[in-house]
Structure 1
Amino acid sequence: MYIELIDETGQVSEEILTQTREILEFAAAKLGKVGKEMAVTFVDNARSHELNVLYRGVDRPTDVISLEYKPEMPIVFDDELAEDADLMEMMAEFDSYIGELFISIDKAAEQALAYDHSYEREMGFLTVHGFLHINGYDHQTPEEEAEMFGLQEEILTAYGLKRD
């Protein structure tokens, strides 16, 4: 998996950058998304606030913003073209970018204190939570929430970021 990590704050440690990359690769393997591409940008609360207003219409900072990439125009082939394995493999490359995350390091620090666990655990949680969102998971209904949060906890625990 190709992961672009961008630290707009200049405050993210090498350990957190490494953890972010590793946990995303771990989660990607779990979901069968190994050949995919994404970006993660670490921001402060002011930037998170701007992005939350822009993308969600919510006038406050948030912990993670997940932007799932969905091509605007589906590519449709006739049956003959759909059977061309080389063409299908080439087209799959156009579908490799899955989205981007914006993680507020300020919110992560606040929430780590509020939930009485480590900053590393909170950053891992936000990374996996956002990753699941850009892969189509949501928590709008109790059933969706149970599925997403169960998978989220399974990934975090298997990676080694257990609840304190």
Structure 2
Amino acid sequence: MEIDIIDETNKITDEQQEMVRSLLEYAAAYIHLAENTEMSVSFVDNQKIQEINREYRFKDQPTDVISFALNDDVEDDFIVNLAEFEDSIPRNIGDILISIEKTADQAIEYGHTFDRELGFLALHGFLHLNGYDHMQPEEESIMFGLQKEILHAYGLER
């Protein structure tokens, strides 16, 4: 899996970036994503994530993580049969934005490390990119159970 990591804050260490990359690669293998999958993770400040939250979610406040899943549906009248090229064309699943300030605040609030919260938020966003949600109780149970399972198996616990 190809993961572009962008640190707009210049506050995330190389080790933290590598931990996020490693965790997401682990999660991709865990849920059996194709190897030619690609995505991005951007680390931003509260001001930037608030602007995005306001513009796209109509909530004028900073939040911890936002995921933008890309729709890879193909029009019925598309001439080329993409199945023939499935293994050679990368499949972009979308983008994750994480507020570093919210990450730090929540790590303190929940009583665990910054790295654990950073990994949790990255994984949470990643699962959203892959169709998981928590709007309904049944969905929440599945998504949160999978989050806990992956974090435990990876070794990133509270």
Normalized against structure 1, the TM-score is what? 0.89
Larger radius of gyration, structure 1 or 2?
A: 1
Structure 1, 93-102 or 47-56: larger mean CA deviation: 93-102
Structure 2: runs of 5 or more not aligned: none
1:77 deviation in Å? 7.4
Task: Give 2:8's aligned residue.
Answer: 8
Q: Deviations over 1:60-117 (max 9, x none)?
A: 000000000003x524379xx86xxxx5231565560000000011000000000001
Partner of 2:55: 54
The residue type paired with residue 63 of structure 1 is D
Structure 1: tracts of 5 or more residues without a match = none
CA distance in 1, matches of 2:5, 2:156: 20
What is the count of residue pairs matched by the alignment?
156
Computed over aligned residues only, the root mean square deviation of the Cα atoms, in angstroms, reads: 1.9
What's the TM-score once normalised by structure 2's chain length?
Answer: 0.92
1:114 to 109, 117, 140: 109
- How far apart in 2 are the matches of 1:94 and 1:74? 14
Asked whether 1:136 is paired with 2:131, we answer yes
1:9-158 alignment, distance < 5 Å = 9-33=9-33, 34-71=35-72, 74-76=74-76, 88-91=83-86, 93-94=88-89, 96-158=91-153
- Identical counterparts, % of pairs: 49
Q: Runs (4+) of structure 1 moved beyond 4 Å?
A: 91-95
State the secondary structure of the residue aligned to 2:122.
Answer: helix
